[in-house]
Amino acid sequence: MEQNTEFEIFLVATPGLEAPLHAEALEKGFAEAKNVAGGVNVRGAWPEVWRANLCLRGANKVLIRIGSFPAVHLAQLDKRARKFPWAEFLRPDIPIKVEATSRKSRIYHAGAARQRVERAITETLGASISPDAVLRVLLRIEKDICTFSIDTSGDPLHKRGHKSAVAKAPMRETMAAMFLRECGFDGTEPVLDPMCGSGTFVIEAAEIALGLNPGRSRSFAFEDLPCFDSTAWSAMRQDRPKVETDTVFIGSDRNAGAVDAASTNANRAEVAAYTRFLCRSVSDIKPPAGPAGLVIVNPPYGARIGDEKRLRSLYGSLGKTLSSRFSGWRVGIVTSNQSLARATRLPLLPAGPVVDHGGTKIRLYRTNPLP
């Protein structure tokens, strides 16, 4: 297959964060970006697939749709899957995993459909099937139309490749980046996270300010596809304008272990020179010298850690400290509990959309610059 053949590319979003991912795709110049249920559709050839994996902060996965056909029974699916040009998209020496879903279709047994496709691939291409394979072929049957996609990412894209230490109830990097975007952060202002855990908000903010690509430290499933061009990919990874910043991004936490973890992660991400992590309680935080910026925090919700009565006091202390010391700063609070957000007594704007955080429904509560 030619490298300039265009595909429909589907950028998988965290449910509730489709809009900021759409905005990011437009900002990064992806063609025909359209906001759809579950993510964003764009179009492009193979280099755009690689670039999406490399540079988009909000996408969880990058899927390419490689073909579709109607089928109303398993024998028809089997016949058409055997005629599908698998060799254009897959290599016979790379194991694959097939996953199937079916909705509103006469082929209703997804497991049987998956088995037919697995057999078609092994018998026509020669590739082996493995439940542990990194490379996934996805079959979606909807209203009797069978659509094949390939997951070009491999590991989910929140796994940036440079984070070894994780704190309790971590915020995923993809979500943190989109919440920063929703708060209006563009890399030109200071950011402070007073409950930083493993440092995700602070590290993402520093990377954005420095223009670092989120996928720079990891590998991707597309590297095992027949159209992969390692020379072009290497050039793409190195093609990054140097951005200078004198802004320092600050995280603090009362847990010394979290502070150590955050410092380790910042060092691995090569942003240690632009970040500072301190062991202190919420009531002890102070704004750094210089211009006002953004305080963003993902406090405990009560669902997994702590109890609501104690947390109400914590949120109250946070709000009191911010109101008294952070005039001119904007605030973003991510929580599952509206009453806890209100316990800060901050002048909150209408809450953002519900976002699915590992089964917990959370929202972003923002303020304008504090008086």
163-193: pLDDT as tens digits: 776 656 678 999 999 999 999 999 999 999 9
CA 220, CA 215: separation in Å to the nearest integer? 9
Q: Name the CATH topology of 7-151.
A: VC0802-like (3.30.2130)
Comparing 1-10, 29-38, 259-268, which segment has the lowest mean pLDDT?
A: 1-10
Polymer length in residues for the chain: 371
- pLDDT tens digit string along 89-100? 999 999 999 999
Specify the pTM: 0.95
| 8 Å CB contact between 364 and 297 | no
- pLDDT tens digit string along 293-337? 999 999 998 755 557 788 999 999 999 999 999 999 999 999 999
- Specify the 3-state DSSP secondary structure of 123: helix
Domain ranges of the chain: 7-151, 173-212+245-366
- pLDDT tens digit string along 280-304? 999 999 999 999 999 999 999 875 5
What DSSP string describes 78-106?
A: HHHHHHS-GGGT--TTS-EEEEEEEESSS
Q: Is 2 a residue whose pLDDT tops 90? A: no
CA 197, CA 210: separation in Å to the nearest integer? 22
Amino acid at 323: S
Q: Name the CATH topology of 173-212+245-366.
A: Rossmann fold (3.40.50)
The helix (run of H) or strand (run of E) holding residue 53 is: helix 46-55
The pLDDT of residue 305 is 56
| 8 Å CB contact between 316 and 339 | no
CA 317, CA 188: separation in Å to the nearest integer? 28
| 8 Å CB contact between 351 and 338 | yes
DSSP state of 351: P
- Kindly state the average pLDDT of the residues 44-59: 97
Name the packing angle between helices 230-238 and 46-55 (round to 10°).
40
How many whole angstroms from its chain centre is CA 297? Answer: 18
- pLDDT tens digit string along 195-252? 999 999 999 999 999 999 999 999 999 999 999 999 999 999 987 766 888 898 999 9
- Kindly state the average pLDDT of the residues 38-50: 97
Confidence of residue 279 (pLDDT cuts 50, 70, 90): very high
Share of the chain above pLDDT 70, in %: 96
